[in-house]
């Protein structure tokens, strides 16, 4: 395999988004199109909380791989964004506004006891990946954020239009998120384009991003199987009838 | 929570099998009842190969936690059973006879490139669990083998009766497996009953076995979603039309 130019590598990374990002999953079309039951929206918010809650732990693993203080200073902002400066602030707290808004018990949500096993395994795989793979791959795996502003735009419009239990306050997470995602993904993309300069490291960066799209896809597959098909695993959380 | 007697703990472990083991999954009913297409049987064999191939790695992780040579001597037999004494022997080789028999390319199978992401995440979660959790929990997580002889009996009878591409040679894995599983699970059960003597360690052993039933269940959910529902993740393996 030949080494790609910087532009070719960026195009290859963006192609992964076009072909594999979870905006293509039928659950998202269902969610944004207003076809989800309230229980399905709850299940989505409940499971996705676990993903959100593990992001700072993932970012701490990435941070812990960085030898350069300047790099660490840039990356630590991600942890600040998620955890906030005080109780009740930050991305995780805003996600809890969403789970509150859709009528979930906060204690249940924070306990993560209602999370589907497949969600748990996928998220753990992501944290382990960032802990154990080379820094370039850990950073490349974050590049799904290149694709998130678009899906978030569709989500806000679709959910406000279709669900009477959703309003702008409940969706505060999503209004705050796109500028952060854009800043973070611009930084991460520059890092990857600068450091992936061999055919081997470019292939590894692309594989890392593909892996991450799998992590996201598996979570929606699990929701679909359990709550759209109506085949939840034994003992798993069920929406109130 | 009170400490359970030895008999109560054994009953509680067996109840997990009755309520959560993957013999209850609709994919198994479909497989054993002859309702699977050849492509679905192939997908099952292909994905399950990955699980089989990781079992000795999981067992090495458990072995590596054992301080007692007598315990290690007993446990190492599991690795021998899977890997055999020579090339072409052992459980993994017998699984390849199955994947050959259902018409899968051996190079594809061994590469594990066709494995569904959810299968990969679930199996990795199992290996990580056995590497990082206390020995008692790692051993307790193996106790799904208490329940496997029954499902294997149903599988052999059902698959021979219903699929013309299945014969006894192809199913050699399953005829060899039940006495090993019985020996292994008897040993592991004795260990757990002897060492889980506090309420806390008993709860941990039960949670470990529940975790393992999730690992198995998630693999069948993934097969169902991809190949029965016909919604395979991007780029994933598809059976020949």
Q: What is the ipTM of this complex?
A: 0.90
The residue ranges of chain A whose pLDDT is under 50 are none
The answer, for B241 touching chain A at a CB cutoff of 8 Å, is no
Domain CATH number, residue A156 = 1.20.910.10
The residue ranges of chain B whose pLDDT is under 50 are none
Q: How far is CA A89 from the centre of its chain?
A: 19
On the CB side of A172, CA atoms within 13 Å amount to 16
Query: Is A118–B235 a contact, with Cβ atoms under 8 angstroms apart?
Result: no
- CB A63, CB A76: distance < 8 Å: yes
Which chain A residue's Cα is nearest to B117?
A214
What does the alpha-carbon distance between residue B207 and residue A63 come to, in Å, rounded to a whole number? 32
The answer, for A35 touching chain B at a CB cutoff of 8 Å, is no
Write out the residue range of the structural domain in which residue A147 sits.
6-228
Q: Is residue A89 part of a domain?
A: yes
Q: Is residue B151 part of a domain?
A: yes
At residue B241, the pLDDT reads 84
The answer, for A228 touching chain B at a CB cutoff of 8 Å, is no
Q: Which candidate from A124, A213, A229 shows the least CB-CB separation from B229?
A: A229
At residue B52, the pLDDT reads 97
Query: Is B121–A118 a contact, with Cβ atoms under 8 angstroms apart?
Result: yes
B186: CB partners within 8 A, 6+ apart: none
Query: Is A222–B118 a contact, with Cβ atoms under 8 angstroms apart?
Result: yes
The number of domains in chain B is: 1
Which chain B residue's Cα is nearest to A27?
B231
Query: Is A213–B234 a contact, with Cβ atoms under 8 angstroms apart?
Result: yes
The answer, for A125 touching chain B at a CB cutoff of 8 Å, is yes
The answer, for B122 touching chain A at a CB cutoff of 8 Å, is yes
Q: Which candidate from A26, A221, A234 shows the least CB-CB separation from B118?
A: A221
At residue B1, the pLDDT reads 74
Question: Where do the H-state alpha helices sit in A64-112?
Answer: 69-83, 90-101, 106-111
Q: Is residue A55 part of a domain?
A: yes
Q: Which candidate from B124, B221, B233 shows the least CB-CB separation from A233?
A: B221
A27: CB partners within 8 A, 6+ apart: A44, A220, A223, A224, A228
Q: Is residue A235 part of a domain?
A: no
The answer, for B230 touching chain A at a CB cutoff of 8 Å, is no
Question: Where do the H-state alpha helices sit in chain B?
Answer: 6-20, 26-32, 38-63, 69-83, 90-101, 106-111, 117-132, 135-140, 148-162, 172-195, 199-223
Q: Is residue B94 part of a domain?
A: yes
Which chain B residue's Cα is nearest to A23?
B234
Q: Which candidate from B121, B210, B231 shows the least CB-CB separation from A121?
A: B121
Q: Is residue B238 part of a domain?
A: no
B222: CB partners within 8 A, 6+ apart: A118, A218, A221, B47, B116, B117, B118, B119, B122
- CB B189, CB B14: distance < 8 Å: no
Q: How far is CA B126 from the centre of its chain?
A: 10
Query: Is B222–A20 a contact, with Cβ atoms under 8 angstroms apart?
Result: no
Q: Taking Cα atoms as reference points, which of B50, B18, B39, B72 lies closest to residue B226?
A: B39
Q: What mean pLDDT value characterizes chain A? A: 96
- CB A180, CB A81: distance < 8 Å: yes
At residue B9, the pLDDT reads 98
Q: Is residue B38 part of a domain?
A: yes
Q: Is residue A234 part of a domain?
A: no
The answer, for B26 touching chain A at a CB cutoff of 8 Å, is yes
């Amino acid at each position: 395999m030949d080494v790609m130019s910087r532009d070719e590598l960026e195009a290859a990374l963006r192609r992964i988004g076009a072909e594999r990002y979870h905006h293509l999953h039928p659950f998202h079309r269902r969610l944004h199109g207003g076809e989800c039951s309230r229980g399905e929206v709850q299940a989505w918010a409940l499971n996705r909380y676990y993903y959100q809650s593990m992001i700072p732990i993932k970012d701490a693993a990435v941070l812990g791989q960085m030898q350069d203080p300047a790099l660490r200073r840039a990356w630590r902002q991600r942890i600040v964004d998620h955890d906030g400066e005080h109780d009740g602030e930050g991305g995780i707290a805003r996600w809890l506004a969403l789970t509150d808004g859709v009528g979930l018990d906060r204690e249940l949500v924070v306990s993560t006891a209602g999370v589907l096993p497949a969600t748990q395994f996928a998220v753990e795989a992501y944290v382990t990946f960032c802990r154990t793979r080379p820094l370039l791959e850990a950073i490349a795996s974050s590049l799904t954020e290149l694709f998130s502003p678009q899906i978030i735009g569709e989500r806000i419009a679709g959910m406000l239009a279709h669900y009477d239990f959703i309003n702008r306050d409940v969706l505060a997470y999503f209004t705050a998120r796109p500028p952060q995602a854009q800043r973070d993904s611009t930084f991460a993309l520059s890092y990857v384009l600068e450091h992936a300069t061999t055919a081997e490291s470019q292939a590894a960066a692309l594989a890392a991003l593909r892996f991450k799209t799998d992590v996201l896809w598996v979570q929606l597959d699990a929701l679909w199987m359990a709550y759209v098909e109506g085949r939840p695993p034994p003992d798993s959380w069920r929406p109130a009838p």
